[in-house]
Amino acid sequence: MIKDIFEAPDLTALTVTPSHPLKSFWQPEYTPPGTDPTTGKLLYEGFGDGVDRSNFGVNIFNESNLFHEALHGFTNYIDQDLYGVSPYNGPLPGVGPPSVNISIYIKDKILSKCASFR
């Protein structure tokens, strides 16, 4: 079952919701985000699929995804529920699917405020 779900081309992680302790399955193969063919800009603000191995896997993108998945596991909320309780509850034009927007919010509004990511 997990293997079938991970055949989706844009999946980074899957979390059992709810799960105590946290049970999360991660796509090990990293596919960097693409670029917008019209502007050449990086899509999804650095979020690719799978585990970003830059800096030995210690980077703000993995941390954002882990925080996102932990929210699923600990709250029993799916993406639509997380959207409803966050102030970032609208899609970002041209940024990515709703799930990516949650991780971007975590990166921009929570983790980027931590001294360890400056």
Could you report the per-residue pLDDT of 63-78, keeping only the tens digit for each?
999 999 999 999 998 8
Domain count within the chain: 1
Mean pLDDT of the chain: 81
**Residue bearing tokens 């980077």:** 59
The C-alpha atoms of residue 30 and residue 39 are separated, in whole angstroms, by: 23
pLDDT at 52: 92
pLDDT at 115: 80
User: What is the three-class DSSP state of 15?
Assistant: strand
pLDDT at 89: 53
**Residue bearing tokens 């830059």:** 54
Could you report the per-residue pLDDT of 34-58, keeping only the tens digit for each?
888 888 888 887 888 889 998 998 8
Nearest to 35 by CA among 23, 48, 26: 48
Instruction: Please determine, for residue 9, whether its predicted confidence score (pLDDT) is greater than 70.
Output: no
Domain that holds residue 69: 2-117
pLDDT at 42: 80
